[in-house]
Structure 1
Amino acid sequence: MSVAELTYDAQLKLLFRATVNPEEFRFILIQYNHFSLVGKVVQALKAKYPDRPMLRLKIADENYSSLIQKLTTHEGLVMIEDFNRLLDDPDMYVGFNQRRDRISRLPIQLICFLPEGPRYIRDCMEKLRDWWSIRNLVLHLRTEVPSEEKRTLEAPQEVSSLGGYNASEKKEELQRLLNRISELESTGEASELLDNLYSQALQILEDLGLYRQGLELAEKWLSKARQEGKTEVELANIYNWFGTFCQYLGEYQRAREFHQKALEIFEKNFGPDHPDTARSYSNLATVLQALG
């Protein structure tokens, strides 16, 4: 059974076990499907460790200098409640990577909260590779969402800065990418560049919540990649996109099939500890949790 399949109480026990020693550094990621879980976890930690210093941070209220200053002068529990904002700020995540060795020598238990979704784990693995390599625990907490909030929570959230910071800018960049893809495909050249353009376009479609269009573009990319005889590892990257969009569209069985394919390929080629393998494990765990 994966961590994502465990109950809230069972995952909370894993968190307590990971943070039991106040002298040891810990880096823990917690994904949640509703923001109320952030406060719930904070209260549980306060009750478990009433005498341990606790610092709650929000990236929205910090700049890079103030964040590092607070992290390096505190001992005990540190909670970053909107860690996804750090992942969207290049200055923040580049600097955060550079300070990994210094911060990881401190007696703090760094607990970072992220909204639910494979995008955020993928961003951690790609943008914070140094930190991902020393992670101690990744939890996936879920709670029943009040019915009146579901529509708001399910609305597309623009969390990536790729293509711009608002829907208008992203749509403009998306059209530019699609035009460039068509232009290059008409010449039959620049295959590696095409792969990069497809990936960027799919990321923007995900940001905009255009999941059906994203699935259609992924299908087009996969068909072309197979015709060109791409390696199985290159195909596995596209399988992950397939699975992601199927998941957003509620096609969980299909999402499971594609994420399983990607996982098997990455595990065979790179082993269980590679970031691509870890990402596929996380993607599959999220789908299995949705299937129940």
Structure 2
Amino acid sequence: MSDNYQEETQPLFKLLRNEAFRFIIVRYNHYSLVQQLQKDLQQRFPDRPVNTFNAKTVDYHQLTQAYYDLGSGFFFIENFDDLLKEDKNSLGQETPETAQNNERRRHITAGLNLRRDKLAKYPIALIVFIGFSADSLYAKKIMEKMPDLWSFRSLLLDLEMPLANDQPDWQNQQTEITNRSLERPISSLGGTDKQAELNRLLELLAATPKNETAFRQTLYPQIADLQNDLGDYQAAIDTLQTWGKIVNDDEKSQIWFKMGDIYTQLGDLDKALTLFQTYHKLQKELFTSDPTNIHFKNGLAISYSKTRRNTRRLRQSQSGLAVLPRL
């Protein structure tokens, strides 16, 4: 194994020349690489403030408040892979001893995912560190637990250095072995598998206390997507409406987007257009607040495309109806 630090970090240093929101995932095989990267970033960008947290010990409110207080610069989260775990006993069950820590993890992943647009308003490089001892499918876990934030990722790095047989990484070494297989993403499931996954998520939702709103909000979009894929459009709409009752207005853009798609499939173009126009309005406000943010720019482009397409469909439909009496 050769040291790839220089090769891997050059694109990162180039990316960070422009101060803007970035979500960067760094996987490493020795903790000294984490220390080296943090040191190099502070030397290259000495005017940017820095804050570092350990994902194993922080809670959601501490993390987000520190992020907003930072305002700009670098926000490092070490041991991020810990947030992707769920501790269970040998029978695969959550115990009272593990429930509190599992809930802490869920609040962080669900909360960061839901606050994606707010996080992106800050010119902060959010850099998370994941050890090589983590599940090799860590990217899929992030994608499943934090799909919205995952879509804003800027860069994935794999940092490696030669390790002697007698040189364990004590800082990051983990000896846990899990035989729980990672479930496939929803998009890759077949019809039967989708129904089984929907049943599992509905049971999980029913078992989740109503005051655990952050975690419930990660379930609603998955449930609605599956209901939509299985053709149960009204159930999907009901799920999205329930989701919308527990989020702020500025966090409803994904709900409007998904409902607009469903009403388009149902042929209710008037409702679809109204929803896409509302979605477009919010995306325009986000872009206006930060025109250099590429994620807001992409969101605005998508919303414009959806609104324009549905406007054209509605006009064609109305034109067709106007011709019918003459036939």
Tell me the TM-score normalized by structure 1.
0.50
8 A contact 1:32–1:113 mirrored in 2: yes
Structure 1: distance between partners of 2:115 and 2:5: 32
2:128 counterpart residue number? 112
Structure 1 position 38 matched with structure 2 position 57: no
CA RMSD of aligned residues (A): 3.1
Q: 1:136 is matched with which residue?
A: 154
Q: Structure 2 vs 1, CA of residues 127 and 155 (structure 1 numbering), >3 Å: closer, same or farther?
A: closer
- Equivalent residue letter for 2:176: Q
| Percent identical residues | 30
1:36–1:195: structure 2 CA closer, same or farther, 3 Å change rule?
farther
Q: Deviations over 1:33-66 (max 9, x none)?
A: 1122111111111111122111111122311111
8 Å Cα contact 2:28/2:131 also seen in 1: yes
SS in structure 2 at match of 1:61: coil
Q: Which runs of 5+ in 1 are unaligned?
A: 164-190, 197-292
**For structure 2, which runs of at least 5 residues remain unmatched after alignment?**
86-104, 182-191, 198-327
User: In the alignment, what sits opposite 1:73?
Assistant: 69
Q: Does the Cα contact within 8 Å between 1:34 and 1:142 map onto a contact in 2?
A: yes
The reply to whether residue 126 of structure 1 matches residue 144 of structure 2 is yes
- The alignment status of 1:100 with 2:116, answered yes or no, reads yes
Q: Deviation at 1:104?
A: 0.8
Q: Are 2:107 and 1:91 aligned? A: yes
CA separation of 1:91 and 1:8: change in aligned 2, threshold 3 A: same
Partner amino acid for 1:148? D
Distance 1:145 1:127, change over 3 A: same
User: What letter matches 1:53 in structure 2?
Assistant: P
Residues 166-199 of structure 1: CA deviation (Å, up to 9, x unaligned): xxxxxxxxxxxxxxxxxxxxxxxxx649986xxx
Contact 1:84 1:159 in 2 (8 A): no
SS at match of 2:161: coil
For residue 157 of structure 1, what is the aligned residue in structure 2?
A: 176
Q: Which has the higher helix share?
A: 1
Question: How many residue pairs get matched?
Answer: 164
C-alpha distance in 1 between matches for 2:37 and 2:157:
11
Secondary structure of the equivalent of 1:146? coil
Structure 1 letter corresponding to 2:73:
G
Which residue does 2:295 correspond to in 1? none
Q: SS state of the match for residue 50, structure 1?
A: coil
The alignment's TM-score, normalised by the length of structure 2, stands at 0.45
Instruction: Please give the alpha-carbon distance, in whole angstroms, between the structure 2 residues aligned to 1:87 and 1:108.
Output: 22
Q: For the residues of structure 2 that align with 1:151 and 1:45, how far apart are their CA atoms?
A: 22
Measure, in 2, the Cα distance between the counterparts of 1:46 and 1:11: 17
Over 3 Å counting, the alpha-carbon distance change for 1:6 and 1:149 in structure 2 is closer
* Counterpart AA for 1:41: L
How far 1:157 sits from its partner (Å)?
2.7
